Amino acid sequence: MSEHPGVLERLLSGDVTALARAITWAEAGDARFQRVLSGANERVGKGWRVGVTGPPGAGKSTLVNEMIGAHRAADRTVGVIAVDPSSPFTGGALLGDRIRMDGRSSDGGVFIRSMASRGSRGGIARATVDAVDAMDVFGFQELLVETVGVGQAEYDVVGAADTVLVVLCPGAGDGVQALKAGILEVADVLCVNKADLPGAERLVSDLEEAVELRAVGLRDGWITPVISCSAGKAEGIAEVMSALASHREWLEEGRLREHRSVRRLAQVRRAVAEALDVELWEAAGWRDRASHLLENGKAHYDVVADLINGLRDAVREKTEGSTKER
Amino acid sequence: MSERRIRVLIGKPGLDGHDRGAKTVASVLRDHGMEVIYTGLHQTPAMIAEAAAQEDVDVVGLSILSGAHMQLFPKIRDELTSRGKGDVLLVGGGIIPHDDIDALEADGFAKLFGPGTKTTDIANWIEEEMKTRFEKEGDEV
Ligand SMILES: Nc1nc2c(ncn2[C@@H]2O[C@H](COP(=O)(O)OP(=O)(O)OP(=O)(O)O)[C@@H](O)[C@H]2O)c(=O)[nH]1
Ligand SMILES: [Mg+2]
């Protein structure tokens, strides 16, 4: 199958099926994705990217559903990537975020795509950023990424978003746990959902205190707001939206370009690391070498050192060789 | 790094409020390594087809117990076709009489699973069918 009659043209002309297929290619690591998107690189970056993350069951999907509603009410189009975990045992996945956004997608201004994490451990899938790029090129104005429910360390979404919204709720741990999880470092906006439940006020004040303690001199002057809402009752949504809008304004006043280039760089670094892993482990025979060394009784850290030193020497030889040529 | 997984949408059209069957099938398919999207109760044909298009699924499985399958199933097939998803593997299950099974299978449905079908048989059947489809596609690349 070639990409004719022009998946890119179809994508640019508003054909949802073409967008959906491009994302499938991105997920499969199919080279056709890059061929399609590289023709439209200058179109990437028009939409505004918000990453929605937080522990399992905090209400991310429910809130995303309300955010879609708010954007549509203001006549803005919305593209959503909702990531759920793949089973590490079978590779299968039950993608259940979409059910909370029931009925939204029949509206022509909304595109929702469920995505399985497929072994990525950072809260999003390897193809998530590609998929958001594709929605961006398609022309969606508001780009939302819902991560899998995260614990204390999975924050790859930072590299995929202009604004990171962290959703917490009472009962899923206290403020101290949130701090341990490094949430203040990643959150541009903090949202305590399920404000209708006991413990919400306490969580809000814990978080506010922590933000204050940390605020002085940090994050170039952006002080993370703490907002409470009840997504399930559609309460407090306007406040969440306005906090997100403030962060956007703040970035657009000057830092946006730097902000995005830092994040793009992080994305490239991650992609390189993953590609290298495959390249070395499979193609360059590191798997065989490592298992051979282990069988011969080497300690695991010696095996690691052997492999890394070998690589370093090979790179050094190569660069010295090429400087001599010059 | 290339990886192709079978993506399935389980749709529950119509008015009946029983989705245990749909959910059971969804989790069995997941356990067979598929990525399964369940869209919930009371979906209109347009909602199911639109979700299938956005999700670019390979398989759409419809579950119905209300008896309205002869009205709803063909409508969903038409909605899929009008969105360029006419080539999806379309299957269904529920309380469906033999005559209706024959009629639907002659009319765009790949397979209807009657009451009492084992869910693992459904999973195996989809797996086999998709294997040949993926192989065919692979040749075309
Ligand atoms: N009491 C209360 N419950 C809510 C509220 N918002 C969401 N919920 C409930 O919380 C549960 C989880 O909501 P989801 O939106 O699926 O949460 P999630 O963070 O997307 O979950 P995962 O994607 O599985 O990590 C559901 O049962 C919701 O109905 C709220 O404001 N108040
Ligand atoms: Mg969710």
Residue A181: which CATH number? Answer: 3.40.50.300
Domains of chain B: 7-136 (3.40.50.280)
Q: Are residues A93 and A225 in the same domain?
A: yes
Same domain, A176 and A115: yes
Q: Do A232 and A278 reside in the same domain of the chain? A: no
CA A305 to chain centre: 32
Q: Using CB atoms within 10 A of its CB, is residue A189 exposed (0-12), middle (13-18) or buried (19+)?
A: buried
* Alpha-carbon distances, residue A98 vs A64, A190, B138 (angstroms): 10, 23, 30
The helix (H) or strand (E) run that includes residue A110 is strand A110-116
- Is A117 among the domain residues? yes
In this structure, the answer to whether residues A98 and A228 fall within a common structural domain is yes
Q: Which of B90, B30, B56 is nearest to A114 (CA)?
A: B56
Tell whether A288 is covered by a domain.
Answer: yes
Same domain, A125 and A225: yes
Question: Do A96 and A219 share a domain, yes or no?
Answer: yes
Domain count, chain A: 2
Distance of alpha carbon A164 from the chain centroid: 9
Q: Min CA distance, B48 vs chain A (Å)?
A: 9
Min Cα–Cα distance to chain B from A95, Å:
5
Radius of gyration (C-alpha) of chain A in whole angstroms: 22
Angle among Cα A35, A38, A41 to the nearest 5 degrees reads 160
Distance A233 CA to ligand 1 centre (A): 11
Query: pLDDT tens for residues B56-104?
Result: 999 999 998 888 899 999 999 999 999 999 999 999 998 899 999 999 9
pLDDT at B1: 40
Q: How far is the CA of A19 from the centre of ligand 1 (A)?
A: 29
* A148 and A279 inside one domain: no
| Phi-psi label, residue A142: left if phi above 0, alpha if psi -120 to 50, beta otherwise | beta
Of A230, A253, A276, at which residue does a domain stop? A253
Domain range spanning residue A93?
A: 42-253
pTM of the model: 0.91
pLDDT band at A184 (very low <50, low <70, confident <90, very high): confident
| Of A253, A282, A316, the domain-final residue | A253
Interface of B with A (CB under 8 A): 1-5, 7, 26-27, 29-40, 44, 46-47, 50-51, 53-56, 83-85, 137, 140-141
Residues 6+ apart with CB under 8 A from A43: A136, A137
Residue A168 and residue A314 in one domain: no
Q: How far apart are the CA of A218 and the centre of ligand 2, in A?
A: 31
List pLDDT tens digits, range A44-67.
999 999 999 999 999 999 999 999
Does an H or E element contain A212, and which? helix A200-215
Cα A259 off chain centre by:
15
Q: Do residues A204 and A284 both lie within one domain?
A: no
Q: Which residue of B has its CA nearest to A82?
A: B55
Looking at the domain assignment, is residue A28 inside a domain?
no
Model pLDDT, residue A15? 94
**Would you say A196 and A233 are in contact if contact means Cβ atoms under 8 Å apart?**
yes
Region A122-150: mean pLDDT is 94
> A5 in a domain, yes or no?
no
Assess if residue A36 is contained within a domain.
no
Of the candidates B7, B37, B84, which has its C-beta nearest A17's C-beta?
Answer: B84
